[in-house]
Amino acid sequence: MSASKRIIIADDDANDRYLIQWALGRAGLKGLVHFVRDGQQVIEVLKAKSDGETKVDPRLLLLDIRLPKADGFEVLEWLQNNREFRPAQVVIFSSSCDPKDMEKAKALGADEYLVKPVGLDAYMELVRDFEMRVF
């Protein structure tokens, strides 16, 4: 079993995952990240602290709203009812800049709401912020 993954990123968009992975690789953090593609996987990994092969001990959950199986709001609701599984920080990471989504995320316990950036430089800045949160 390898070292613990400290960041869970829940995103089903292949382009967004690629940009995040690229920026994490450039920052030397790629090995700390565990990717999932739907909300149900988030819950399963948080409950098990593992994906079956990799140990997951998250400090940060980066959570898209629009996910299959269970959306980001449903994951936030689950975390409210299962606080023992909640990472230190839960950040919504969405392309939606709808104030209603932002308000709902805050009401459900998200620590922060970030709109997905545009461009590689913006992703690098975001990864620097993740590094500060994790360490």
Cβ atoms 8, 42 nearer than 8 A: yes
Full residue range of the structural domain in which residue 42 is found? 5-134
Collect the ranges in the chain with pLDDT lower than 50: 1-2
Instruction: Of 88, 50, 45, 94, give the one whose Cα is nearest residue 72.
Output: 94
Q: Rounded CA gap, 121 and 91, in Å?
A: 20
Res 61: pLDDT: 94
Res 1: pLDDT: 36
Structure tokens at 31: 């090995």
Chain centroid to CA 54: 17
Report the CATH number that the domain containing residue 95 is assigned in CATH: 3.40.50.2300
> pTM (2 decimals)?
0.87
Res 33: pLDDT: 87
Res 119: pLDDT: 82
Other C-beta atoms lying within 10 Å of the C-beta of residue 22: 15
- DSSP structure class, residue 55: B
Tally of structural domains, the chain: 1
Res 7: pLDDT: 87
